[in-house]
Chain A
Amino acid sequence: DVKVTQSSRYLVKRTGEKVFLECVQDMDHENMFWYRQDPGLGLRLIYFSYDVKMKEKGDIPEGYSVSREKKERFSLILESASTNQTSMYLCASSLSGTARVTGELFFGEGSRLTVL
């Protein structure tokens, strides 16, 4: 089974702190994604990566950056956390070229971040 593991289920940080959210997948997938999920807004794409060291902005990249140094790991970075970044963050992965047809993204369980 494909497994996408997010390092922290729950985090509490203070405004201005630097925050790292880590995601690891074990199925050699080329594509990796970071979404945030908010009530009434659904899922919104922050960044995605289709290869090591490659990254593309999603719909809401402001205030975030990402790092993909190894194929299996995709990190989301909040350089200076703010209260409006309190949210559930979901990591996902997929095989290259197939998601357009199969649509199968494999999701982690999510990281709930609270910024005080």
Chain B
Amino acid sequence: GNSVTQMEGPVTLSEEAFLTINCTYTATGYPSLFWYVQYPGEGLQLLLKATKADDKGSNKGFEATYRKETTSFHLEKGSVQVSDSAVYFCALSTNSGYSTLTFGKGTMLLVSP
């Protein structure tokens, strides 16, 4: 079956540090890949996506590249801010059946001033 594995958190960084959150996946076929973010007290919202190999998704300074050869979709940001403190979820959707997503367990990011 499909699965998503994320690095465990919390990830603790100082403001302006470089961020990487690792995500690898197992899926049949050719999945689409996503990062969602959940700010404190809120629901999840889509951060970025990539629908085919070598695609790069980007938004709000975050980037992730769909690497089919390593089945990975690592999230990166060059300079984090305190306001980036949140829980980040990697997810996949296979192009078959219904439109459901499989989520990773989430990685909490804490950024200090």
A interface residues, Cβ below 8 angstroms from B = 4, 31, 33, 35, 40-45, 48, 50, 56, 58, 90, 92, 94, 96-105, 107-110
Contact = CB atoms under 8 A, between A and B. Distances in A.
Interface stretch (B59-67, B77-85, B98-106): B98-106
Contacts of B105: 40-42
Contacts of B94: 100
Main SS class of interface, A: mixed
For chain B, the bracket of interface size reads 20 to 34
Contacts, number: 67
21 contacts: A31-B98, A40-B105, A41-B105, A42-B104, A42-B105, A43-B106, A48-B98, A48-B100, A50-B98, A92-B43, A99-B101, A100-B99, A102-B49, A103-B32, A103-B49, A103-B91, A103-B93, A104-B46, A105-B101, A107-B45, A110-B43
Main SS class of interface, B: loop
Contacts of A110: 43
